[in-house]
């Protein structure tokens, strides 16, 4: 601890112990605890107490009958636990009977402050910090704290109840770990007294008929097996597993969710992964739980690395049952590839009952099933072979039930039609899952069915904006995964046909009165154009539609998100020459209007930041890719863009301007592959003639002025990006000899004066004409490395210092004068 903090600590402790000066801001106390934890982790807690006896005095003050605030009392309990986490400091505090007074029956337990949840939470968390060594385990058994912890498991405050369970699980795990390190005999009777009491309490709770008590016991065990992987956990599980197994004999199974968490935690434990009885219990549990409860357990089993194949098969069947029931409820074509889904379960009656019991139950079960299968699909542990075709057929069937196009094959199907009609939650889950299935390889005959159901949802007037967005996303994934025809010169026939049918639908959606729909359509168009704008079939279909013209019209949309998406889509189409044709049908084409001017107008006049950021990103891509309008006069383009971007109030626009400047810099230097200042590559020396020409070009487009001004930007990311750019440029300009170019020393006084004004915040002053010699001289004179180091520091690194923190706490209790507080 530094001397300044040591000097402030006595006043701080005295202020905290004075009930007449309450702490107004409890967040300062939280920060103070974090600081004490950092100090004790870096050194000895005992030395800290010996050097700062005021801390012990503060803890003794807590024992006196006075009206300390709950926040200060909680802070003191947690501080005591933090200090006593080191065993020598624990023994030091024990000598004065301080710890029993704080955490025993004589402490806050019997006082009026105990009614405050903050105090109960501080007591629990203090014990949690303290319980790090064998002496603490004996203390817990002797001071009578365990009975209080047991009762706090049912505390009305969920935070307190959860902390109590976490403490018991931690203590039990610590007991087994320490015993395993000191003894070879795996006998339960060797456990510390506190561990034996906790185990007895868990056994009693598991035998209870009250579900809350069962839940508490299961949660404690889940914490223990997740925290401790000692071989002794095998002994603990052997003792408690019969009680857990008895829960499966009850109907319904109590605390099913907590039971699933426990069994998966045990199954992931290395000490128990070879326990055959455990696998049998998991199999039995899968059969006893309801379909909604068994789903998470089945997914967890399938994620396990070491699991018997029979159990994996049973778990996968559990996941598939809801989809199999839905598939069977709809009329299917004979010989459909999806019939393989029925090779597993034959439509379990319990699943049918769960699906038909209520709309909420049906929707919840299907959404859960689809989400679990979506999570499982990309995992290496997924079942093999993966039933791609049956799952595709089932997902399509679910979506048909939702949009009303499914034909019921039974009474179950009729009821599902009524339940699922227009259900947005199920549509979203099914579309997400259908999109995930695009990564697999399925039978080609099912692909038209997938495209058909996607097109139905995109066309339907009943589809909500969220469903349309999901449908566009799934459609894009299936289009991106479509196979390339032999030769790879164009789209395959299925994709071409689908795109021709899709473009009129997209055209309609771009005219939607709902801005979210217009935005989703534009995002989809930009992604599709990025992939297929060079394919002749796509180009013909797109140019034959009104989509390009509508897209340009949406640059003037009243919603800023839509304007931003329109900018991105128009930029992508323009990169491939897919402009809207101004001429009418049967008329000769008129002169092509300049999209560059339209986007410059957006950059200059749009009141929202999103469209302007999108314009800067499009311009950067155009410059990088050599867009036709940019290539006509690159310097003029860059100069105009940087001039507008330098005046923008949005820091992201200015930062993107620096990205564009970096691309122009690299291209002009003839090193387009070196535009990243972080690239690790050997420096290539640039010929002197090319370097001189490049520097003159940078001056003409005012790149130096833009970068120097950004160096002192009030937004740190802009200044950092400018610093990186100038460091890169200084490295490339190292061989430049300004004396040979100018015939003498350049006059940099005016430039440095302008930089001083900018540093002082006078950003309105222009730099004026700049010669390469002066620019390079100023560039070399700047301490860019030092500036980069300063910018890398947190903006509040001074205010977050320990001294500042102590002053803040003192300020909240009115110890310092009004002007002395270092608040932040």
Distance (Å) of CA 588 to CA 540, 542, 582, 583: 18, 19, 10, 6
Q: What pLDDT is recorded for position 6? A: 85
Q: Looking at residue 187, what is its pLDDT?
A: 61
815: pLDDT strictly greater than 70: no
**How confident is residue 113, by pLDDT bands cut at 50, 70 and 90?**
confident
In this prediction, residue 293 carries a pLDDT of 95
Residue appearing with tokens 């190292």: 734
Which stretch of 109-123, 352-366, 564-578 has the lowest confidence by average pLDDT? 109-123
* pLDDT for position 189: 64
CB contact set of 427 (below 8 Å; sequence gap of 6+): 399, 402, 403, 457, 463, 467, 470
What value does the mean pLDDT take over residues 396-410? Answer: 93
The pLDDT assigned to 811 comes to 78
Which pLDDT belongs to residue 29?
Answer: 87
β-bridge mates for residue 330, sequence order: 408
- What pLDDT is stored for residue 782 in this prediction? 87
pLDDT of the residue at 781: 86
What distances in angstroms separate CA 245 from CA 197, 280, 707, one per listed residue? 21, 10, 70
Residue 429's Cβ-count burial label (10 Å; 0-12, 13-18, 19+) is buried
Q: How many CB atoms lie within 10 A of CB 573?
A: 24
pLDDT tens, position by position, 211-221: 999 999 999 99
From 303-307, 571-575, 806-810, the region with the lowest mean pLDDT: 806-810
For residue 817, is pLDDT > 60?
no
Which residue would you say has higher pLDDT here, 47 or 96? 47
pLDDT of residue 754: 72
Residue 546 has pLDDT above 80, yes or no: yes
Give the C-alpha separation, 435 to 391, whole Å.
12
The share of the chain scoring above pLDDT 90, in percent, equals 57
Torsion of CA 36, 40, 41, 44, to 10 degrees: 170
Min mean pLDDT across 10-24, 74-88, 319-333, 641-655 is at 10-24
Under the banding of pLDDT at 50, 70 and 90, the label for residue 341 is low
pLDDT at 111 exceeding the cut of 80: no
Q: For 738-745, what is the mean pLDDT?
A: 51
Supply the mean pLDDT for the chain.
Answer: 86
Give the model's pLDDT for residue 364: 96
Residue from 206, 213, 211, 279 nearest 246 by CA:
206
Of 236-240, 256-260, 762-766, 778-782, give the lowest mean pLDDT range. 762-766
Q: Per-residue confidence at 143, pLDDT binned at 50, 70, 90?
A: confident
For 583, phi then psi, to 5°, come to: -75, 150
Q: Does the pLDDT at position 618 exceed 80? A: yes
- Model confidence band, residue 469 (pLDDT cutoffs 50, 70, 90): very high
- In degrees and rounded to multiples of 5, residue 81 shows phi and psi of -65, -40
Where is average pLDDT lowest: 184-193, 467-476, 599-608, 611-620? 184-193
Q: Which residue has the higher pLDDT, 592 or 725?
A: 725
Is the four-CA dihedral 486, 489, 494, 495 of positive or negative sign?
Answer: positive
Torsion of CA 235, 240, 242, 248, to 10 degrees: -140
| pLDDT tens digit sequence for 652-711 | 999 999 999 999 999 998 866 554 554 544 556 777 788 889 999 999 999 998 998 898
Task: Indicate if the pLDDT at residue 237 is higher than 80.
Answer: yes
Rg of the chain over Cα atoms, rounded to whole angstroms, equals 35
Rounded distance between C-alpha atoms, residue 376 and residue 302, angstroms: 8
Residue among 298, 301, 309 nearest 365 (CA): 298
pLDDT at residue 133 is higher than 50: yes
Q: What is the pLDDT of residues 79-92, one digit of tens each?
A: 999 999 999 999 99
In this prediction, residue 819 has a pLDDT band, given cuts at 50, 70 and 90, of: very low
Euclidean distance between CA atoms 729 and 707, whole angstroms: 11
């Amino acid at each position: 601890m530094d001397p300044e903090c040591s000097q402030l600590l006595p006043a701080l402790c005295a202020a905290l112990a004075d009930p007449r000066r309450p702490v107004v801001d409890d967040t300062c106390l939280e920060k103070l605890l974090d600081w004490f934890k950092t100090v004790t982790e870096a050194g000895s807690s005992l030395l800290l107490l010996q050097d700062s006896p005021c801390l012990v005095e503060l803890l003794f003050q807590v024992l006196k009958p006075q009206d300390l605030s709950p926040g200060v009392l909680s802070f003191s309990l947690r501080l005591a636990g933090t200090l006593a986490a080191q065993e020598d400091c624990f023994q030091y505090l024990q000598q004065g009977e301080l710890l029993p007074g704080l955490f025993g029956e004589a402490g806050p337990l019997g006082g009026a402050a105990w009614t405050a949840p903050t105090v109960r939470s501080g007591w629990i968390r203090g014990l949690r910090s303290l319980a790090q060594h064998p002496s603490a385990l004996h203390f817990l058994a002797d001071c009578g704290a365990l009975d209080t912890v047991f009762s706090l498991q049912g505390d009305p405050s969920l935070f307190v109840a959860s902390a109590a369970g976490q403490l018991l699980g931690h203590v039990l795990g610590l007991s087994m770990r320490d015993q395993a390190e000191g003894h070879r005999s795996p006998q339960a009777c060797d456990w510390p007294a506190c561990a034996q009491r906790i185990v007895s309490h868990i056994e009693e709770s598991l035998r209870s008929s009250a579900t809350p008590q069962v839940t508490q016991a299961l949660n404690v065990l889940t914490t223990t097996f997740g925290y401790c992987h000692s071989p002794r956990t095998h002994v603990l599980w052997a003792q408690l597993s019969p009680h857990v197994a008895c829960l499966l004999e009850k109907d319904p199974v109590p605390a099913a969710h907590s039971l699933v968490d426990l069994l998966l935690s045990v199954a992931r434990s290395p000490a128990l992964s070879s326990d055959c009885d455990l696998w049998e219990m998991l199999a039995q549990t899968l059969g006893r739980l309801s379909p909604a409860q068994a789903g998470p357990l089945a997914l967890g089993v399938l994620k396990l690395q070491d699991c018997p194949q029979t159990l994996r098969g049973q778990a996968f069947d559990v996941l598939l049952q809801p989809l199999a029931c839905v598939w069977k409820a709809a009329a299917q074509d004979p010989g459909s590839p999806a019939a393989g889904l029925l090779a597993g379960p034959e439509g379990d009656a319990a699943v049918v009952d769960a699906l038909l019991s209520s709309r909420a139950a049906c929707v919840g079960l299907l959404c859960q099933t689809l989400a679990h299968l979506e999570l499982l699909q990309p995992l290496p542990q997924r079942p093999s072979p993966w039933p791609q075709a049956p799952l595709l057929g089932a997902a399509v069937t679910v979506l048909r039930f939702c949009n009303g196009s499914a034909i019921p094959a039974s009474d179950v199907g009729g009821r599902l039609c009524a339940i699922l009609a227009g259900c947005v939650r199920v549509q979203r889950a099914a579309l997400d899952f259908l999109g995930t299935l695009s990564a697999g390889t399925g039978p080609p005959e099912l692909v038209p069915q997938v495209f058909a159901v996607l097109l139905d949802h995109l066309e339907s007037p009943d589809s909500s904006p969220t469903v349309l967005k999901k449908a566009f996303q799934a459609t894009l994934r299936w289009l991106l995964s479509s196979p390339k025809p032999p030769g790879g010169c164009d789209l395959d026939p299925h994709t071409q046909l689908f795109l021709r049918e899709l473009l009129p639908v997209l055209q309609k959606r771009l005219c939607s009165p709902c801005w979210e729909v217009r935005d989703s359509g534009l995002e989809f168009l930009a992604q599709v154009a990025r992939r297929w704008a060079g394919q002749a079939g796509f180009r013909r279909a797109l140019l034959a539609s009104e989509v390009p013209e509508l897209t340009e019209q949406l640059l003037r949309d009243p919603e800023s998100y839509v304007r931003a998406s329109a900018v991105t889509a128009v930029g992508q189409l323009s990169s491939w020459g897919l402009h809207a044709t101004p001429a009418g049908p049967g008329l000769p084409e008129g002169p092509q209007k300049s999209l560059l001017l339209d986007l410059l107008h957006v950059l200059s006049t749009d009141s929202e930041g999103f469209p302007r950021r999108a314009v800067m990103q499009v311009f950067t891509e155009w410059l990088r890719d050599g867009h036709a309008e940019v290539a006509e006069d690159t310097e003029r383009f860059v100069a105009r863009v940087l001039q507008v971007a330098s005046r923008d109030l949005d820091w992201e626009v200015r930062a993107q301007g620096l990205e564009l400047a970096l691309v122009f810099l690299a291209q002009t230097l003839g090193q387009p592959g070196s535009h990243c200042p972080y690239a690790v590559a050997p420096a290539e020396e640039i010929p002197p003639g090319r370097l001189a020409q490049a520097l003159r070009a940078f001056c003409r487009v005012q790149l130096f002025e833009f970068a120097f001004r950004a160096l002192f930007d009030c937004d740190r990311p802009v200044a950092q990006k400018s610093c990186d750019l100038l460091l890169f440029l200084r490295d490339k300009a190292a061989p430049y000899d300004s004396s040979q170019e100018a015939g003498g020393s350049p006059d940099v006084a005016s430039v440095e004066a302008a930089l001083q004004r900018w540093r002082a915040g006078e950003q309105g002053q222009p730099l004026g004409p700049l010669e390469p010699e002066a620019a390079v001289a100023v560039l070399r004179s700047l301490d860019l490395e030092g500036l980069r180091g300063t910018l890398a520091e947190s903006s509040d690194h001074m205010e977050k210092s320990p001294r500042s923190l102590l002053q803040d706490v003192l300020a909240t209790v009115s110890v310092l004068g009004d002007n002395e507080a270092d608040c932040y």
